[in-house]
Structure 1
Amino acid sequence: MLKAYTPDNGRLQSADSVEAHDAAVVWVDLLSPTDEEEQAVEAWLGVGVPTRDEMEEIEISSRLYAEDGAHFMTATLPAKADGDRPEMAPVTFVLAAGKLATIRYHEPRSFETFPQRAEKVALGCQDGESILIALLEVIVDREADILERAGREIGEIAHGIFHPAERQVSKRDRNFQIILRKIGRKEELLSNMQDSLLSLQRLCGFLSTLMGKSDREARARVKTLQRDVASISDHAATLSQKITFLLDATLGMISIEQNAIIKIFSVVAVIFLPPTLVASIYGMNFEKMPELSWSFGYPLALVIMVASAVLPFLYFKRRGWL
């Protein structure tokens, strides 16, 4: 799919095609392009666009470079990020002769909301550089929103760990299993977001070197972008540390629950050990046992067994072991 845009007093207007408005088009967005669309954009841009395999290279030299007077910048961006498993894929931005081309194979929400907003509000979209800066601002805002949502959900997980609603041990155990899965999903989300923010941080650093001859406002916006990405990265690192703490806390809670259960079994075993000893003694089949001829021998044995069970229980209770 190919979408072309032309500037209109700081706004963006959709164009029918690149060929029909060749001179006026300043931004072309390629989504899973066909060979014909790639050829049309290469003719309009004057340079070749990278293939999908080239976009997925992880080396910095393959993601941020200049070639034939054009500058290529690739960042990993999330799509379908309303859940805990966003679709992560690279997006390449190509700046050449005041024109911008974006190549992607997934659908980050920023590429849907930005053109809609730019058609209604003047965002200073006059050339490829200004459009790229405005688009990156929307992308960074979107990633901040994702982390804000993740932070709220992590807070809910923490409340579930330290303030469990269930009183029964069996139900709490099931809740801890659910919490562990939630923690795992949040860790995966934060890991993906940190990778994305790292690629954006490198992209903004590379872009700042291209702004040397640009106007002061553009340079200031790029510097603000760099600060925003750095602060969001710090926030993501803080959330990642909190997730690690919650994982340790959850495992600690599970260990405490298991130890409490084992302690109960141990105490019960100790309590019933003396009665078992008494019953074992009087269960012996010896001929000469004086108590066998006593009329009160059987009640006395029962009293001794009950007492030998109650006294250890009261002792444990007094010491606070139960």
Structure 2
Amino acid sequence: MAEQENLQEHFIAVQNLLSKQKLVEELVHRQDMPRHDLVESLVHKQNLAELQRLIGRLPTSVIARILEDLSEEDRKTVWALVHDVRKDEILLEVSDDVRVELVSEPKPQEQSMMVRVFDLHEGRLRQIPIYHHQDMSSVKPIWVDLVTPEEEELAWAEEMFGVKLPNPKDLTDLETSARFYVEDNEEVHLHSDFLLDREDESRNVAVAFILKGNTLFSVRSEELPVFRLQRLRARAQAGYVTEAKDVLLDLYAADVEYSANALEDVYARLEEVGRQVFRSHMTNAQAAKILTTISEEEDVNGRIRRNVLDTRNALSFLMRSKLLSNDQHNETREILRDIESLDGHTNFLFNKINFQMDATVGFLNVNQNIDLKRLTIISVVFMPVNVLAGIGGMSEFSMMTHAIPWPLAYGSFIIAMIIIGYMTYMWLKAFEDRSIKGQRIGKNG
């Protein structure tokens, strides 16, 4: 209880500082004063500094909870103020949806961001800004990462590093034999799918890996949470990677871990759907919504299964190619064991999804049968009434009742129709009650 109160207190303090910053910026914008930009910059920096000091004093778990509760705009503001050393720990604490949002990066526009070059410095991964050939003279990169490169960026990287790089637009729909192979010059090529699971969509993103000597090249069409997390971990932990193949294996291991987290989310969402499915009654609108949710979860589960299958093929290729050391072989076997455990979960989820879908369709059939039953009852009730109405509309009826005033004749006729319809309805209801009672007696007997 005390921890919850402290968390609420810190959350309110962060929100107050964010609101204060927005209010002051709005007031400064409205004022027409000399040196307006200078005043605005000073006020902005002062508010951010105060907010940064507050964040710096908070524990990692508290910051993670605050980030989950903030709006998307405020979350980005607070995340930018978190020290880089603490970001990796916080990313491990927050929920998967928030983690994906925080690690997702906009499409880079500068060449230094388009082509990321990393080397090892004191056992840690370090990014090096590269603009010219001279920048590479004293650098021994172990990882070169290209995200959404244009044609000129690809040509620039190929010239600088002396390697042929594929265009990320051409990575889809490759033949199986073209996904993993070794060139005559001993370059190792792997084309793999990596899972991207967001709240609004889930898909597999193709990534091309090239191992040339002691350098790993990766090319893809968009930023992926797995790559960002691995960069953060390798920067924070000394000895996390020692060579290019370690980076490659860690990326595959992180992809399996990311797929496992996505499966946990599928489990949680299906549990919520299950609570709705096992209710005593469900409307057609509710059933349609549940079927949509189940279909989405089935799609995510299928993509996860395809993703881990592709990862298994890539790891098997690396083991068969005899490119890995003994330690790397052992790490690869551990990853393959994790994939085997995920296979069991995906199979279980497929069965669970099919069961819930069948149950939901069963509710739709029951609702349809109830509607048909109601229509049948209405038809039976009105059948004798329709016969009487037909008789009343004939000219013979008028001839038989010509001596009776027509309001009395037709009023009596309408009353008779109502009585007959009511008696028919009561007879059907009594018949149904007897049937239900007989079924209960049969079950108890």
What range is the shorter-chain TM-score in?
0.7 to 0.9
Contact 2:189 2:208 (8 Å CA) reproduced: yes
Query: Is the CA contact (8 Å cut-off) linking 1:275 and 1:305 kept in structure 2?
Result: yes
Task: Give the deviation of 1:149 after TM superposition.
Answer: 0.7
The aligned counterpart of 2:167 is: 51
The equivalent of 1:183 in structure 2 is 294
Aligned to 1:169: none
- Note the 1:215-234 alignment, pairs <5 A: 215=326, 217-234=327-344
In 1, distance between residues paired with 2:200 and 2:252? 23
- Correspondence for 2:128 among 15, 19, 40: 15
Amino acid at match of 1:76: D
Pairs aligned (count): 312
Report the AA paired with residue 259 of structure 2. Answer: E
Task: Please give the per-residue CA displacement for 1:239-273, whole angstroms capped at 9, x wherever unaligned.
Answer: 23322332232222111101111112212322443
CA distance, structure 1, for counterparts of residue 252 and residue 352 of structure 2: 28
Shift of 1:305: 5.6
TM-score scaled to structure 1, two decimals? 0.83
Letter in 2 for 1:10: G
Residue 158 of structure 2 corresponds to residue 42 of structure 1? yes
For residue 150 of structure 1, what is the aligned residue in structure 2? 266
Q: Note the alpha carbon deviations across 1:175-205, whole angstroms, 9 max, x for none.
A: 1121222222223322332222222111111
Helix, strand or coil for the counterpart of 1:83? Answer: coil
Which of 214, 232, 248 is residue 325 of structure 2 equivalent to? 214
Identify if the C-alpha distance between structure 1 residues 10 and 310 changes in structure 2 by more than 3 Å, giving closer, same or farther.
same
Alpha carbons of structure 1 residues 165 and 112: separation in structure 2 relative to 1, 3 Å:
farther
2:4 is the counterpart of 1:4? no
Q: Which residue in 2 is equivalent to 1:139?
A: 255
Contact 1:27 1:100 in 2 (8 A): yes
Match status 1:312 vs 2:428: yes
1:118: how far off?
Answer: 1.1
2:361 pairs with one of 245, 251, 259: 251
Q: CA deviation at 1:233?
A: 3.3
What stretches of structure 1 of length at least 5 have no aligned partner? 167-171
Q: 1:164 to 1:89 in 2, by over 3 A?
A: farther
Q: Output the amino acid matched with 2:371.
A: I
- Give the corresponding residue for 2:279: 163
Q: Distance in 2 between matches of 1:248 and 1:105?
A: 38
Counterpart contact for 2:319–2:329, Cα < 8 Å: yes
In structure 2, do the counterparts of structure 1 residues 77 and 22 end up closer, same or farther at CA, with 3 Å as the change threshold? farther
Q: Runs of 5+ in structure 2 lacking a partner?
A: 1-113, 405-411, 438-445
Return the structure number with greater relative CO, CA threshold 8 A, min gap 6: 1
Q: Secondary structure at the match of 2:370?
A: helix
Alignment of 1:92 onto 2:203: no
Q: Distance in 1 between matches of 2:421 and 2:229?
A: 78
Deviations 1:200-256 (A, max 9, x none): 1111111222446513x2111011111222322332233233223322322221111
Aligned to 1:78: 195
SS in 1 for 2:320: helix
Q: 1:235 to 1:24 in 2, by over 3 A?
A: same
Greater shift in the superposed pair: 91-100 or 3-12: 3-12
CA distance in 1 between partners of 2:351 and 2:310 (Å): 21
User: SS state of the match for residue 314, structure 2?
Assistant: helix
Distance 1:164 1:315, change over 3 A: closer
One-letter amino acid of the counterpart of residue 369, structure 2: N
Q: CA 1:280 to 1:35, structure 2 compared with 1: closer, same or farther past 3 Å? A: closer
Give the alignment's TM-score, normalised by structure 2: 0.62
The alpha-carbon deviation at position 105 of structure 1 amounts to 0.9
Which deviates the most, 39-48 or 57-66?
39-48
Moved more, 177-186 or 256-265: 177-186
Q: Look up the SS of the partner of 1:251 in the other structure.
A: helix
Residue 242 in structure 1 maps to residue 355 in structure 2: no
More helix by share: 2
In structure 2, the partner of 1:26 is: 142
> What residue number does 2:375 align with?
265
Question: Which has the larger displacement, 14-23 or 61-70?
Answer: 14-23
The structural deviation recorded for 1:109 is 0.6
Tell me, in whole angstroms, the C-alpha distance in 2 between the residues paired with 1:313 and 1:213: 78
1:262-286 per-residue CA deviation (whole Å, 9 max, x = no partner) reads 1122123224434555666677665
Residue 203 of structure 1: aligned partner: 314
**Counterpart contact for 2:169–2:221, Cα < 8 Å:** no
Query: Do 2:117 and 2:128's aligned partners in 1 also have CA atoms closer than 8 Å?
Result: yes
1:105 to 221, 245, 251: 221
User: C-alpha deviations, 1:74-129, integer Å up to 9, x for none?
Assistant: 111233x2225224321011112121111111111111111112111135311101
Amino acid at match of 2:289: I
Aligned to 1:62: 178
